[in-house]
Chain A
């Protein structure tokens, strides 16, 4: 089925460890983004990309890094995990920044940093 695929679904990290959250879409969408979801705070934008080779920061970028080498993939890297990064992470894509049908979201990665 076409859509946004995120891996892994669950991850536990120790403070200071690094890891990469994977995101892939097969809809040929130019726009991709990463959000984190915390209780009572809604979804907050971490980084986004408007096309291969182009990325920019969102509302809460500190501690995260991204790159976009292909249209399909948009990995999110945690450089040195901290307990404050415990959250559920969602990747989203759309055909354009302003998309009439909104964004297509992946099923999320639940990250716990101990």
Chain B
């Protein structure tokens, strides 16, 4: 059974304090790993797709990386507007769905 585990559950950072969020997964044949951002009261918003180990994607202060067992979302010099819940999801080769982790709630204090 596919499993996706995100850690930590919650993270509080000072503005400018860089850190990383973790997403570990166990699937039989990864087709894609997705990162989403979710603001309170809204639906998840797509950030990145990673397909193979060693791949990296960047967008502003965010950088996602992928290994064979986990993915990291690195946040460099975060700002208060980066506060949100970050969700990780995986898609197995033959699956017609995404399997989501429970998310990391990030709070960036000014």
Interfacial residues, chain A to chain B (CB-CB below 8 A):
4, 33, 35, 40-45, 48, 50, 56, 58-59, 90, 92, 97-98, 100-108
Are the CB atoms of B102 and A90 closer together than 8 Å? Answer: no
Whether, in the assembled complex, B65 has its beta carbon less than 8 Å from a beta carbon of chain A, the answer is no
Given contacts A42-B101, A101-B49, 15 further A-B contacts (CB under 8 A): A33-B97, A35-B100, A41-B102, A42-B87, A42-B103, A43-B44, A43-B89, A44-B100, A45-B97, A48-B96, A90-B43, A97-B96, A100-B32, A105-B44, A107-B43
Whether, in the assembled complex, B31 has its beta carbon less than 8 Å from a beta carbon of chain A, the answer is yes
Residues of A within 8 A of B100 (CB): 35, 42-44
**How close is A6's CB to chain B, nearest CB, in angstroms?**
8
Render B83-106 as a binary contact track against A, CB cut-off 8 A, 1 for contact. Answer: 000010101000011101111000
**Interface residues of B, dominant DSSP:** strand
Known: A42-B101, A42-B102, A48-B96. A98 touches B91 (CB 8 A): yes
- 5 cross-chain pairs, A with B, having the tightest CB-CB distances, nearest first: A105-B43, A102-B46, A42-B100, A43-B100, A42-B102
Which single member of A90, A103, A108 contacts B46 (CB below 8 Å)?
A: A103
**How close is A57's CB to chain B, nearest CB, in angstroms?**
10
